[in-house]
Amino acid sequence: MLLRTSNSIFVRSISDCRLEPSSSMASISEEQQLPQKRYFRQRAHCNPHSRHSLDSPSRPADVDWPGIFASDFKEGDDVEFADVGCGYGGMLFALAELHPDRRALGMEIRIKVCDYVQEKIRAMRAAHPGCYGNIACVRSNAMKQLVNYFRKGQLSKLLFLYPDPHFKRAKHKWRIISPALLAEYAYVLRPGGRLYTATDVPELHDWIVQHAACHPLFRQLSPDELASDPLTPRLVDTTEEGRKAQREGCSCLPAVFERVPDPADTTGQTGAVQNMSDWATSKPGSAYGGTDRDQLHSSASSVARSGRSGGRRLLSARELLLIWTLFVLGFVLILSAAVAYSARFAGAGTACLLCGIASIVGAFVWQCRASGAQLADLGKAAAAASTYSQVPAPGVGASPYNIQDDAAGDGAPAALHF
């Protein structure tokens, strides 16, 4: 029997697959086939901030889990494991064998790689009836859509194995581990859940440990706890990147972090506030020093915008149009002055020259005043932003994404506002 991919590509025997099923599973039939990996190759680097044509649910309640898993997905079933950037699915199949009673979802942004994992899952299900029905793979951008799939506290394991290191300093914002994204990971992880990372790049390992260990909702596991976790040995050689690193003589650097319980709120009760919109407006006098949280968020956003623009205020479209108009008009008048001087019209040339210089100087002064208009309020905004960042959000920390819960009060975020 031959299986075909979406591109009608021939495949090779399943016996050549690196994954060795456990002895409890049925023996592999020689007729069963796996997709060939070489037909699904795609460049490893992908810009997570690009507008990819991805279909994602608006909230976790809208996820079509029976359609994704293509198996008997009962109403009470929950996805507990998520492999972000699952690649060619090595860890997914390892999770299917280690935890056959738990469901795991792989999230991959590259379309060809995601197609390969889906084809391989179908082939493995055909080779082993009744097995591998607890894993699935979807094409998605976890940096933007993670909370669209999982509600608060749903996951017990979240894996980031051999992520793109993004060596350039300007691309560090693309790294999958960052303070803002760690707040989202804490949101979807239940207390006691674990965040697994592994890389063969020491610089990236130091970055991950620096940011995750300092986050108030995560703690790094000790070496003894790391050794007792049955999943830790699988972080090294189950993925294609891990095996490649071993062949090249590189060492795997794992790091595992545990989700700690939410800190107590201002009343001393842990987890008392379930709806984030209610929490954001509660106790404005004591928790925020009499300052509205929306104003603090606006001030923090203005500081962030000022930092991205080098301390300058972002000009409106009308201001930019008028400034550029003055610049262009000034240069046109200077050219006209040159033409007038060449035609021996000294008076007209002098007038055009003076008007041109005045126009350019006026545009330059206008831009400088507009750029420095916010400098007087920058200190106040920075203080407000500092106050905003110190307010403990239940379960999510100080994330700039403004996650809003569902109106039903089930803890499922309805939308993300960037």
Ligand-binding site membership of 402 (annotated): no
Ligand-binding site membership of 85 (annotated): yes
* Alpha-carbon separation of residue 268 from 46, 158, 273, 405 (angstroms): 44, 29, 11, 22
Ligand-binding site membership of 241 (annotated): yes
Q: Which residues lie across from 108 on neighbouring strands?
A: 139
- Burial (0-12, 13-18, 19+ Cβ within 10 Å), 182: buried
Ligand-binding site membership of 161 (annotated): yes
115 annotated active-site: no
| Interhelix angle 202-214/179-188, nearest 10 degrees | 60
Ligand-binding site membership of 141 (annotated): yes
DSSP string of 133-155?
A: TTEEEEE--HHHHHHHH--TT-E
Return d(Cα 418, Cα 410) in angstroms, integer. 22
Q: Which residues lie across from 258 on neighbouring strands?
A: 194, 219
- Judge contact between 34 and 123, C-beta under 8 A: yes
Ligand-binding site membership of 142 (annotated): yes
Ligand-binding site membership of 319 (annotated): no
Say how many C-beta atoms besides its own lie within 10 A of residue 242's C-beta: 24
Beta strands in 233-381 (DSSP E): 253-259
Ligand-binding site membership of 108 (annotated): yes
Q: Which residues lie across from 34 on neighbouring strands?
A: 12
- Judge contact between 135 and 172, C-beta under 8 A: no
Closest residue by Cα to residue 185 from 292, 278, 258: 258
Question: What is the three-class DSSP state of 3?
Answer: coil
- Of 164, 237, 377, 406, which one is the catalytic site residue? 164
Ligand-binding site membership of 248 (annotated): no
- Residues flagged as binding site: 85, 108-109, 141-142, 161, 239-241
- Residues flagged as binding site for S-adenosyl-L-methionine: 85, 108-109, 141-142, 161, 239-241
The residues that are catalytic are 164
